[in-house]
């Protein structure tokens, strides 16, 4: 019973849950991916579509995940099975939870490799190794890192251990304590870098790029990217938010809490863009540089600016903290399930899962060197896992969660748990999760295939 209590303990307050769920949502997607996909898709018009998608798709599905988790007070598989049974439906709906947890494990395996790159760059920047580098030299440094399996393995191992240590601590001593420290630190670092971006000559150009709405630049592909990213940036479809919701205090309002999480997650993405684009423009670089924006373009920019070594190091520390808070939530649902169903102690479950994700991660980091010739459906292991999770497992999980909340769970049970201030608001949410959200995510899912 003691182990059960450690899984089903509550966050100390509503705000701790908001910080924890925001930590889950805020990761590499906000600070690394959002700026470069904004750059690739024309700026302000893309940002506007993204914000609409957060409101119409992300927030309603997040409300669904949180209410399912809180009503059942269990890990995703067990939560979905119990609520299905409570509504007189088949317990096979629990398979959604299994798929989400599997997606979280697979995502962690390659996410940890990218986080390892970030840890390396913290030290490279702090040591002055990036000072004055040209774009060719920065590209060479990054390619040399990818070609070095020993260094990649070291950082991948360190990052995995960092996450395992936090998850072993449980809800209060581990997740909550880490959240209370890391999330305020993340916000402070982000706004320091935002202030730095404001001081550069490129701030006005960066602001215009982010918020001038030129709809001629908006393509159908950009709309699909916006729908997809709005969904993935909130950590939906992988059970993390459902697991965190199961620790949510009963008195806390689900609607206002999820709105706060969505607001903070979006704020981080926008402020990250306003911190990064001024630096890019001030140095005459391409905002549509793609994934290389963080590891090639920005090191060049920081390396050539006054105070760049200090602020470059702060930037990579910020990315590292964001990756850490997100990665914790990737393991938590499966650890919770192993404690509930298999009867393992939390420490044993976490270490066992840590070894599994660490081992898969070795295959991912090998994609760039000793296993570069190994392919699955034409992709290396890293790209394959990225593709099947982002394009198949997460959107499919999101569609099914929306359908489960809208069509399977009894309306009264959902209404009682969500407890919105008016019946009209509840009916609007129900309409969105029944029809709009599944259709929007379904379109992205089909076209991405």
Report pLDDT digits (tens) over 373-395: 999 888 999 999 988 988 888 88
Mean pLDDT (whole number) for 43-63: 90
CA distance 47 to 198: 20
Q: Of 442, 446, 434, whose CA–CA distance to 61 is shortest?
A: 434
What is the spatial distance between Cα 185 and Cα 317, in angstroms, rounded to a whole number? 10
DSSP state, residue 407: I
Domain limits for position 242 = 2-448
| Rounded (10°) CA dihedral 445, 233, 327, 159 | 100
Vertex 111: Cα angle to 106 and 117 (nearest 5)? 150
The torsion angle over the Cα atoms of residues 218, 220, 222 and 223, rounded to 10 degrees, is 100
Confidence grade of residue 291 (pLDDT, cut at 50, 70, 90) = low
Rounded CA-CA distance 142/281 in Å is 22
Give the CB-side neighbour count of residue 336, counting CA atoms within 13 A.
Answer: 35
pLDDT at 7: 54
Q: For residue 381, what pLDDT is reported? A: 94
How far apart CA 397 and CA 321 sit, in angstroms, is 27
Query: Residue 303 has what pLDDT?
Result: 85
Is 376 in a helix, a strand, or coil?
Answer: strand
User: Is the predicted pLDDT of residue 413 greater than 70, yes or no?
Assistant: yes
Between CA 53 and CA 161 the distance in angstroms is 35
Query: How much is the average pLDDT of 322-329?
Result: 92
Average pLDDT, rounded, for the chain: 89
In the chain the first and final C-alpha atoms are separated, in Å, by 45
Over residues 236-255, the pLDDT tens digits come to 888 999 999 999 988 888 99
Which class for 253: exposed (0-12), middle (13-18), buried (19 or more C-beta within 10 A)? Answer: middle
Quote the CA–CA distance of 179 and 183 in Å, as a whole number: 6
Cα(360)–Cα(44) distance, integer angstroms: 38
Is 363 a residue whose pLDDT tops 70?
yes
> 156 pLDDT exceeds 90?
yes
Nearest to residue 56, comparing CAs of 231, 256, 221? 231
Domain count along the chain: 1
Whether 211 has a pLDDT exceeding 80, the answer reads: yes
pLDDT at residue 406, rounded to an integer: 94
Which of 168, 160, 163, 98 has its CA nearest to residue 361?
160
Collect all residues with Cβ–Cβ distance below 8 Å to 217 and sequence separation of at least 6: 41, 42, 43, 45, 46
Can you tell me which residue has the tokens 């540089």?
A: 289
Q: State residue 1's pLDDT score.
A: 24
Q: What is the pLDDT of residue 107?
A: 94
* pLDDT at residue 338 tops 90: yes
C-alpha R_g of the chain: 21
Which has more pLDDT, 282 or 368? Answer: 368
Percent of the chain scoring above 70 in pLDDT: 97
Question: Can you tell me the distance from the alpha carbon of 372 to that of 364, in angstroms, rounded to the nearest whole number?
Answer: 10
Give the pLDDT of residue 146: 94
Q: Tell me what the mean pLDDT of segment 416-429 comes to.
A: 90
Residue 41 confidence class, pLDDT cut points 50, 70, 90: confident
pLDDT given for residue 4 in this prediction: 32
* Closest-CA residue to 312 (of 294, 291, 290, 332): 294
Is the model's pLDDT at 5 over the cut of 70? no
Q: Which of 81-90, 108-117, 212-221, 257-266 comes out lowest in average pLDDT? A: 212-221
Kindly state the average pLDDT of the residues 218-228.
Answer: 81
What pLDDT digit, counting tens, does each position of 126-141 carry? 999 999 888 889 889 9
The answer to whether residue 438 scores a pLDDT higher than 70 is yes
Q: Which residue is associated with the tokens 């292991």?
A: 381
Percent of the chain with pLDDT over 90: 50
pLDDT of residue 78: 94
The pair of three-digit structure tokens given for residue 188, joined into one six-digit string: 């402070």
Q: So what's the pLDDT on residue 2?
A: 28
201 sits in the region (left: phi over 0; alpha: psi -120 to 50; else beta) called: alpha
Summarize pLDDT for 275-287 with one digit per residue, the tens. 888 888 888 887 7
CATH number, position 226: 1.20.1740
The pair of structure tokens assigned to 112 is 């940890």
How far CA 338 is from CA of 44, 67, 178, 245, 341, in Å, comes to: 44, 22, 22, 18, 6
What are 376's strand-pairing partners? 379
Average pLDDT over residues 8-33: 84
Residue pair 364/381 in contact by the 8 Å Cβ criterion: yes
pLDDT of residue 290: 66
């Amino acid at each position: 019973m003691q182990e059960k209590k450690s899984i089903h303990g509550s966050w100390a307050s509503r705000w701790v849950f908001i910080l924890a769920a925001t930590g889950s949502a805020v990761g590499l997607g906000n600070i690394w991916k959002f700026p470069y996909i904004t750059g690739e898709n024309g700026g302000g018009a893309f940002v506007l579509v993204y914000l609409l998608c957060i409101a119409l798709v992300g927030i309603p599905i997040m409300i669904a995940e949180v209410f399912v988790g809180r009503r059942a007070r269990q890990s995703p598989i067990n939560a979905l099975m119990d609520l299905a049974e409570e509504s007189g439906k088949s317990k096979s709906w629990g398979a959604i939870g299994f798929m989400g947890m599997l997606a979280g494990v697979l995502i962690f395996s390659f996410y940890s490799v990218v986080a390892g790159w970030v840890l390396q760059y913290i030290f490279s920047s702090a040591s002055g190794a990036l000072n004055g580098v040209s774009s060719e030299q920065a590209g060479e440094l990054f390619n040399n890192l990818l070609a070095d399996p020993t260094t990649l393995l070291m950082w991948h191992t360190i990052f995995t251990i960092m996450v395992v240590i936090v998850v072993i601590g449980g809800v209060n001593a581990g997740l909550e304590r880490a959240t209370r420290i890391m999330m305020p630190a993340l916000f402070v670092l982000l706004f320091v870098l935002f202030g730095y971006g404001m001081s550069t000559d490129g701030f006005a150009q960066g602001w215009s790029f982010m918020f001038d709405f030129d709809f001629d630049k908006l393509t159908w592909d950009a709309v699909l990217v916006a729908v997809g990213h709005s969904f993935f940036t909130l950590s939906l479809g992988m059970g993390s938010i459902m697991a965190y919701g199961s620790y949510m205090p009963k008195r806390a309002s689900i609607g206002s809490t999820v709105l706060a999480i969505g607001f903070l997650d979006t704020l981080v993405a926008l402020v990250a863009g306003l911190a990064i684009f001024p630096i890019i423009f001030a140095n005459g670089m391409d905002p549509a540089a793609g994934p290389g924006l963080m590891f090639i373009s920005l090191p060049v920019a920081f390396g050539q600016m006054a105070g760049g070594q200090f602020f470059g190091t702060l930037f990579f520390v910020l990315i590292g903290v964001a990756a850490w808070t997100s990665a914790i939530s990737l393991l938590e649902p499966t650890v919770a399930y192993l404690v509930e169903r298999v009867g393992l102690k939390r420490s044993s479950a976490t270490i066992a899962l840590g070894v599994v994700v660490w081992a898969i991660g070795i295959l991912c980091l090998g994609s760039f060197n000793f296993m570069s010739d190994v392919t699955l459906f034409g992709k290396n292991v890293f790209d394959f896992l990225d593709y099947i999770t982002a394009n198949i497992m997460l959107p499919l999980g999101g569609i099914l969660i929306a359908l489960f909340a809208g069509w399977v769970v009894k309306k009264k049970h959902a209404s009682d748990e969500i407890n919105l201030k008016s019946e009209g608001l509840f009916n609007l949410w129900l309409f969105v999760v029944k029809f709009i959200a599944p259709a929007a995510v379904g379109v992205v899912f089909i076209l991405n295939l």
